[in-house]
Amino acid sequence: MHPVRKQRLILVLLLVTLSSAAIALITYALRQNIDFFYPPSKFAAEEVPHNVRVRAGGCVVPGSVFRSEESLAVRFSITDGVAQVPVKYTGILPDLFAEGEAAVVTGKLQSSGVFEAEQVLAKHDETYTPPEVQEAMVGDHTATCQGAGKAMASDY
């Protein structure tokens, strides 16, 4: 290779490396802010501020969903396998919201420890299966919070 071209190649590589390093440092410094939601274990560790708009995400604990009979109010708990956060919400839930599925809630943590949600989003996992196949794996039915669990595992 021609020495001038080699020099320009090195310059190009340097440009890419340095800019990548800069961005890597910035994203590393901001890693807390880039997380879309707090896992319940952060709530348990008292790392989440009270009465400030935040998001919490985790698996909807099977059997924890209680719907009010006269209004759209609903209560449920989310977990990351370490801790649980009780959530209160009034409104229409997304179609994919279900026990044993992941959900992300936006709202404020009350001093009582209950999370008052103003928005509930369903987080689905990355698996796609036809209904017949899904029914065949009955045992697996409740263990579908991989998406949420994985994101949280990478936190530690």
Near another protein by CB under 8 A: residue from 37, 76, 89, 115: 37
**Count of other CB atoms within 10 angstroms of residue 125:** 14
What does the DSSP 8-state code read for residue 141?
Answer: G
Q: Does 115 bind another protein (CB under 8 A)?
A: no
Q: Does 3 bind another protein (CB under 8 A)?
A: no
Near another protein by CB under 8 A: residue from 76, 87, 123, 145: 123
Interface region with another protein, contact rule CB under 8 A, candidates 46-54, 68-76, 81-89, 115-123 = 115-123
What does the DSSP 8-state code read for residue 34?
Answer: H
Nearest Cα residue to 53 out of 103, 118, 108, 7: 108
Q: Does 101 bind another protein (CB under 8 A)?
A: yes
Interface region with another protein, contact rule CB under 8 A, candidates 27-35, 44-52, 82-90, 110-118 = 27-35
Burial class (CB in 10 A: 0-12, 13-18, 19+), 79: buried
Nearest Cα residue to 105 out of 92, 125, 91, 89: 89
The residues with which 54 forms a beta bridge, in sequence order, are: 107
Q: Does 74 bind another protein (CB under 8 A)?
A: no
Near another protein by CB under 8 A: residue from 111, 126, 139, 156: 126
Interface region with another protein, contact rule CB under 8 A, candidates 46-54, 65-73, 82-90, 95-103 = 95-103
